[in-house]
Chain A
Amino acid sequence: EPEVTQTPSHQVTQMGQEVILRCVPISNHLYFYWYRQILGQKVEFLVSFYNNEISEKSEIFDDRFSVERPDGSNFTLKIRSTKLEDSAMYFCASRGLAGETQYFGPGTRLLVL
Chain B
Amino acid sequence: AQSVTQLGSHVSVSEGALVLLRCNYSSSVPPYLFWYVQYPNQGLQLLLKYTSAATLVKGINGFEAEFKKSETSFHLTKPSAHMSDAAEYFCAVSERNRDDKIIFGKGTRLHILP
| A interface residue numbers (CB < 8 A to B) | 31, 33, 35, 41-45, 48, 50, 55-56, 58, 91, 93, 95, 100-107
Given contacts A48-B100, A50-B99, contact A104 B44 (CB under 8 A): yes
* B interface residues, tally (CB under 8 Å): 23
Given contacts A100-B32, A100-B49, A100-B94, contact A45 B43 (CB under 8 A): no
Instruction: Report which residue of B43, B49, B51, B94 has the largest number of chain A beta carbons within 10 angstroms of its beta carbon.
Output: B43
| B interface residue numbers (CB < 8 A to A) | 32, 34, 36, 42-46, 49, 51, 90, 92, 94, 96, 99-107
Q: What CA separation (Å) do A43 and B92 show in the bound complex?
A: 10
Q: What CA separation (Å) do A102 and B100 show in the bound complex?
A: 10
Q: What CA separation (Å) do A105 and B44 show in the bound complex?
A: 7
